[in-house]
């Protein structure tokens, strides 16, 4: 069975090159942590924006210590999983560089076999100043942006509203803004499942696209349950270690359709994908709730 261990607790933040550190918990950021410790005034109050933007001229380090067991150390496919880092950063485990990240809007994973050790491990995320990054990049090649924003913000994959707007302040925060975890995948894991629908008379054909990381699993099962919990369709998929993507179709008869508020009910179907190892034991599961519906645009004139 895949094991996921949350690493959201017991972090410390400090400005790079300094000794003073502050306890924090993911999700965490520079502004939030400094506010929690009353080191800065509220940057959203009155004109405090103008004395707060420059805080992000500096680099900041976020660090935690976590314990790994023998199973995590021995598994060849153990990874560190970040749901979101904001934004330009280098990630280290036990002093060894795992990689550089440069996009706030995506997930990052790093294999740690041979680096992680049984017992205590130190995970460090060194975040580079976004202010300095966009300035240096724009000096190399100027890119047009909105007049009310910080020059160069178009060079970085980060929420652009942080760099100011006609309605927003220039507060380009940085930190670890989504969960961090250690994943020990066992015989395999489900990376993603995407569903699409085709509606015909009194039935819905549901297409499931599976992205699977396989280290010895033999099959996957897709089961669709109606809002009352009854299984209405299911499919078995044979797996190969060399393949990552699989597709299957399931037909739902007499579908209970989802309607927008005021036009009907909102029944939800349960879509479950289960991954089985060679001993027919469950090693990972993905469950989603979806509504069966189509969407069209009405071009008829209203009153």
How many angstroms separate the CA atoms of 92 and 36, rounded? 26
**For residue 213, pLDDT beyond 90:** yes
**Structure confidence at residue 28 as a pLDDT band (50, 70, 90):** very high
Of 152, 147, 34, the C-alpha closest to 88 is: 152
Q: What is the mean pLDDT of residues 230-236?
A: 95
Percent of the chain exceeding pLDDT 90 equals 89
**For residue 167, pLDDT beyond 90:** no
Q: What is the mean pLDDT of residues 255-262?
A: 95
DSSP the chain: --EEEE--SSEEEEETT----EEE-SSEEHHHHHHHTTSS--TTSTTTHHHHGGGGGS-EEEEEEEEE-HHHHH-TT-EEEES-EESSEEEEETTEEEEEE-BTTS-EEEE-TTT--SEEEEEEEEEPPHHHHHHHHHHHS-----TTS-TTGGGSBS-GGGB--SSS-B----EE-S-EEEEE-TTEEEEEEEEEEEEETTEEEEEEEEEEEESSEEEEEEEEE-TTS-EEEEEEEE--TT--EEEEEEEEES------TTTS----EEEEEEEEETTS-EEEEEEEEE---------S---
Write the burial class of residue 210 (CB in 10 Å: 0-12 exposed, 13-18 middle, 19+ buried). buried
Please tell me the class of the 187-290 domain. Answer: mainly beta
Q: Is residue 240 a contact partner of residue 217, using CB atoms and an 8 Å limit?
A: no
**Structure confidence at residue 242 as a pLDDT band (50, 70, 90):** confident
Q: What is the mean pLDDT of residues 241-265?
A: 94
- pLDDT of 118 reads 97
- What are the structural domain ranges in the chain? 3-183, 187-290
Q: What is the mean pLDDT of residues 232-257?
A: 94
Q: What is the CATH number of domain 3-183?
A: 2.60.120.260
pTM of the model: 0.88
**For residue 186, pLDDT beyond 90:** no
**Structure confidence at residue 1 as a pLDDT band (50, 70, 90):** confident
For the stretch 39-94, pLDDT in tens is: 999 999 999 999 999 999 999 999 999 999 999 999 999 999 999 999 999 999 99
Of 265, 283, 262, 263, the C-alpha closest to 273 is: 283
Q: What is the mean pLDDT of residues 101-108?
A: 97
Q: What is the mean pLDDT of residues 105-125?
A: 97
**For residue 241, pLDDT beyond 90:** no
């Amino acid at each position: 069975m895949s094991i996921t261990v949350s690493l959201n607790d017991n972090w410390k933040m400090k400005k790079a090159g300094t000794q003073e550190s502050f306890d924090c918990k993911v999700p965490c950021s520079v502004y939030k942590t400094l506010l929690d410790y009353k080191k800065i005034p509220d940057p959203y109050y009155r004109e405090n924006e103008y004395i707060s933007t420059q805080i992000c001229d500096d680099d900041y380090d976020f660090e935690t210590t976590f314990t790994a067991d023998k199973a995590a150390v021995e598994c060849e496919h153990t990874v560190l999983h970040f749901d979101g880092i904001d934004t330009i950063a280098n990630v280290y485990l036990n002093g060894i560089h795992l990689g550089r990240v440069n996009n706030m809007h995506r997930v990052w994973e790093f294999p740690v076999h041979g680096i992680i050790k049984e017992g205590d491990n130190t995970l460090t995320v060194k975040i580079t100043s976004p202010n300095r990054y966009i300035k240096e990049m724009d000096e190399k090649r100027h890119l047009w942006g909105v007049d009310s924003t910080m020059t160069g913000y178009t060079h970085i994959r980060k929420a652009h509203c942080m760099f100011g707007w006609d309605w927003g302040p220039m507060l380009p925060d940085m930190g670890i803004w989504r969960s961090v975890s250690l994943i020990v995948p066992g015989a395999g894991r489900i990376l993603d499942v995407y569903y699409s629908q085709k509606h015909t008379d009194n039935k819905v054909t549901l297409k499931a696209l599976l992205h699977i990381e396989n280290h010895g699993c033999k099959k996957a099962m897709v089961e669709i349950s109606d809002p009352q919990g009854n299984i209405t369709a299911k499919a078995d998929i044979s797996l190969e270690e060399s393949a990552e993507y699989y597709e299957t179709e399931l037909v739902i008869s007499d579908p209970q359709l989802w309607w927008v508020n005021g036009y009907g009910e909102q029944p939800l179907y349960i879509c479950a994908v289960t991954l089985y190892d060679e001993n027919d034991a469950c090693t990972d599961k993905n469950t989603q709730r979806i509504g069966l519906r189509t969407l069209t645009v009405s071009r008829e004139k209203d009153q």
